[in-house]
Structure 1
């Protein structure tokens, strides 16, 4: 197993600062948040860091903050891998609804580095035992996460690579809240489960149409409206279900790409 690179931030005074940038935690009422506050630790997650591998006991739960994003990745015996779901500041990775032994089924890998809040899963379970509101919130979040995974199965089977690529870029932009996505085409190819040359061809087509540009390890979305038109319906389906299931987890606006 790859050893975690996660390091605590300089001071846990930053816990409160980061807490408001995770939409799931920010939706909590003060009495419920107080059950978690003493046990939350501010950490920095690094690109490529593996939070857990299949079969690991998930002893810690992570809440990505700001633009941090991680993926659940399914790894085959051949070594090939593909993404099953992504999690950013709208959610959490770890022991969301389970109790007791929590073996991971997938790898959890950081795609976009940045701050996160971390809690021992046992502490989270204790808090849920003490609050029906917390139990309900995390159960509904698990439902929204499952919907994303189910939709991905259908999307991968039925939709073109270009539509899937557009969907992935939109989903990532929703999480990083920026038109600039710090991700290489190689990493994008791994997430989509295809060869890098295949993604390069799709990216060139999107660039030629003025939808994106890319350089030096980042992809910039230039025209979100047209990118939405090129994407399959899966992005909007997952988003609409999330908004229905978790109406209190408020969305945040998307920043526009800079000129140039």
Structure 2
């Protein structure tokens, strides 16, 4: 399913030195990922590492009783699969496509070989690993102490940043799963957001109409994660220079 999409649509790949990207490029392939695709289940052996372009993927912990909790999400700022696969190569949860789109993928063996041979690539991935750890740490704290309304704002904003459009293919059911709340709770929250002029709703999606208002209603976690990524990684200037109220994506 390879498509003519630039691997540099992923910001980690785009930030590589030209010779490092050239080293990886023969082993990278672009794939199209439909919504709901399960890439790995817990315990599966990881074969490919994914660098999202406009797709968003999540790692979900499925408990014995059947409840599912999202642990982390990944977009064009990062990659999926390597951190959990360096030692055991086993997935530690369900790796699922949450927003459809494209991604570059590479066989994990090729990436590990490249990391061993290319010091700058190895350092970039180490810095990304630190940023991801902070993101996960912040997410755990956010889920424990912040309201569903604030967390919903964060999810809407981060989705917009990752796909680069104000029209988000998010349903009430999607947000309920991501936030770990009832669908009726999400419906109430989105109705309130629409009444305040922050979004408009349409079948199968949400349109952001007031980003600054959403940022004002969100909690500190959204900005905290952005600041960490901007500090540790060579993210686009619009991310590093972001101020509240601006309309630019990351």
**TM-score scaled to structure 2, two decimals?**
0.92
Is contact 1:45-1:114 (8 Å) kept? yes
Is contact 2:59-2:71 (8 Å) kept? yes
**1:76-95 per-position Cα deviation (integer Å, ceiling 9, x unaligned):** 22222122221111111012
Aligned runs of 1:68-217 on 2, under 5 Å? 68-96=55-83, 98-217=85-204
Is contact 2:30-2:104 (8 Å) kept? yes
**1:40-73 per-position Cα deviation (integer Å, ceiling 9, x unaligned):** 01111110001111111111101111x2111111
The CA distance in 1 between the partners of 2:173 and 2:84, in whole Å, is 33
**1:179-208 per-position Cα deviation (integer Å, ceiling 9, x unaligned):** 110111101100111110111111111111
The CA distance in 2 between the partners of 1:144 and 1:50, in whole Å, is 25
**1:110-157 per-position Cα deviation (integer Å, ceiling 9, x unaligned):** 111111111000100000000111111011111111111110110011
**1:165-187 per-position Cα deviation (integer Å, ceiling 9, x unaligned):** 10111111110111110111101
The CA distance in 2 between the partners of 1:236 and 1:207, in whole Å, is 23
Any runs of at least 4 consecutive aligned residues in structure 1 with deviations exceeding 6 A, and if so which? 253-256
Aligned residue for 2:42, secondary structure, equals coil
Q: CA, structure 1 residues 200+192, in 2 after alignment: closer, same or farther (shift >3 Å)? A: same
Q: Could you tell me which residue of structure 2 aligns to residue 4 of structure 1?
A: none
Q: RMSD over aligned Cα, in angstroms?
A: 1.7
Is contact 1:61-1:92 (8 Å) kept? yes
Is contact 1:144-1:241 (8 Å) kept? yes
Q: Could you tell me which residue of structure 1 aligns to residue 2 of structure 2?
A: 9
Aligned residue for 2:161, secondary structure, equals helix
Q: Could you tell me which residue of structure 1 aligns to residue 14 of structure 2?
A: 26
Deviation at 1:34, TM superposition (A): 1.6
Q: CA, structure 1 residues 97+138, in 2 after alignment: closer, same or farther (shift >3 Å)? A: farther
Is contact 2:171-2:205 (8 Å) kept? yes
Segments of structure 1 that go 5 or more residues without pairing to the other structure are 1-7
Q: Could you tell me which residue of structure 2 aligns to residue 3 of structure 1?
A: none
The CA distance in 1 between the partners of 2:22 and 2:166, in whole Å, is 34
Is contact 2:84-2:92 (8 Å) kept? no
Is contact 1:81-1:191 (8 Å) kept? no
The CA distance in 2 between the partners of 1:121 and 1:28, in whole Å, is 18
